[in-house]
Amino acid sequence: MREKIKTICRSLEKEDGIRVLFAVENGSRAWRMDSKDSDFDVRFVFVRPVESYIQINKPVEVINVFYDKDGKPCRAENAFIDISGFDVFKFVRMLSSSNPTMIEWLVSDIVYYGEQDEVFRRFALKNFNQTALYHHYKSMCKSNYVKYLKSKALVTYKKYLYAYRGLVNAKWVVYKNSVPPIIFADTLKGMKDIIPDNVLEKLNHIIKLKSRGEEKDIISNIVKLDEYIEEFLKKDEGTPKKRVHVNLKELDEELRKIVLHH
């Protein structure tokens, strides 16, 4: 599949007249929470020739394409390879405001094509906004819990892991004041003194079940996991304070270098 994704990236470069800076996994596979039938969530950053940016009509900043298991184009609902790319200008704007998803693209350790920019990565890890990360992950926890688990609309192991990835990552940001590891099991290991043992044991067990392909099985609510989420969502004493404004000079310099040397 890695070769198919590389081929798709090369085709996009040729067809759209772009250069793919890097393409990574940023879904359950990157988090090591995938099952046998998990699809591929490929995310990439691209740059256009400098002339494309100097025109009246702004070039498209987002490219979305979908492919089936054979690497053939298909509709979004049938996709096995879901590919989404951001223009480098859009990517850097979002990174400059510490968008957590952009940071995850830079720290993902599954790289399909090209390589992540080290200047961007250093900036992300050094200047991340603790408040932005905390609220992003807490919101991820709340939306998965309220929409699927508490409402009993779709109670599955997958939804529990998605809710808890938000919860554990939010707590990591508060207690470690750093960007959480991309691999969820590593985050759990690093939070063993914060998260109760019975919760950690259950989550590690669910990750094993999911890897065997049982992620979509409808299950009953897991009371102790629900209670811990409820407790987390009610409390706000751990909310980080806002950070001061950061200097964007190095991002601007790197952006110019990338665009002018396309």
Neighbours of 106 (CB within 10 A): 23
103 located within any domain: yes
Q: Do residues 74 and 190 share a domain?
A: no
Q: Do residues 21 and 119 share a domain?
A: yes
Average pLDDT across the chain, whole number: 94
- Sheet of 81-87: strands edge to edge? 62-67, 81-87, 40-47, 19-25, 111-114
Task: Give the model's pLDDT for residue 114.
Answer: 98
Q: What's the length of the chain?
A: 262
List the CATH number of the domain containing 80: 3.30.460
Q: Do residues 63 and 152 share a domain?
A: no
- Does the pLDDT value for residue 262 go beyond 90? no
Residue pair 42/24 in contact (Cβ under 8 Å)? The answer is yes
Q: Do residues 13 and 110 share a domain?
A: yes
Listed range (39-43, 211-215, 225-229, 231-235) with the worst mean pLDDT: 211-215
In this prediction, residues 81-86 reach a mean pLDDT of 98
167 located within any domain: yes
Neighbours of 200 (CB within 10 A): 17
Number of domains into which the chain is organized: 2
240 located within any domain: no
**Percentage of the residues of the chain whose pLDDT score is greater than 70:** 97
241 located within any domain: no
253 located within any domain: yes
Using CA atoms, how far residue 254 sits from 33, 115, 237, 259, in Å, is 33, 15, 38, 9
Using CA atoms, how far residue 121 sits from 64, 66, 118, 191, 237, in Å, is 24, 27, 5, 24, 30
Q: Do residues 186 and 254 share a domain?
A: no
Q: Do residues 120 and 134 share a domain?
A: no
Residue pair 132/97 in contact (Cβ under 8 Å)? The answer is yes
Q: Do residues 48 and 117 share a domain?
A: yes
11 located within any domain: yes
Q: Do residues 7 and 123 share a domain?
A: yes
71 located within any domain: yes
- Does the pLDDT value for residue 214 go beyond 70? no
Q: How many helices, marked H, and strands, marked E, lie in the chain?
A: 12, 5
- Residue identified by tokens 């992003």 is 136
The boundaries of the domain holding residue 144 are 130-234
170: Cα separation from own chain's centroid: 14
Task: Give the model's pLDDT for residue 37.
Answer: 82
Q: Do residues 160 and 148 share a domain?
A: yes
Q: Do residues 120 and 176 share a domain?
A: no
218: Cα separation from own chain's centroid: 25
> 103-149: per-residue pLDDT in tens?
999 999 999 999 999 999 999 999 999 999 999 999 999 999 999 99
Q: Do residues 195 and 217 share a domain?
A: yes
In this prediction, residues 177-195 reach a mean pLDDT of 96
Task: Give the model's pLDDT for residue 141.
Answer: 98
In this prediction, residues 238-259 reach a mean pLDDT of 86
Global pTM reads: 0.94
Task: Give the model's pLDDT for residue 243.
Answer: 63
116 located within any domain: yes
Q: How far apart are CA 203 and CA 128, in angstroms?
A: 27
In this prediction, residues 64-90 reach a mean pLDDT of 95
Q: Do residues 157 and 52 share a domain?
A: no
Task: Give the model's pLDDT for residue 217.
Answer: 80
Task: Give the model's pLDDT for residue 237.
Answer: 63
Using CA atoms, how far residue 164 sits from 25, 151, 182, 198, 260, in Å, is 20, 16, 14, 14, 42
- Does the pLDDT value for residue 188 go beyond 70? yes
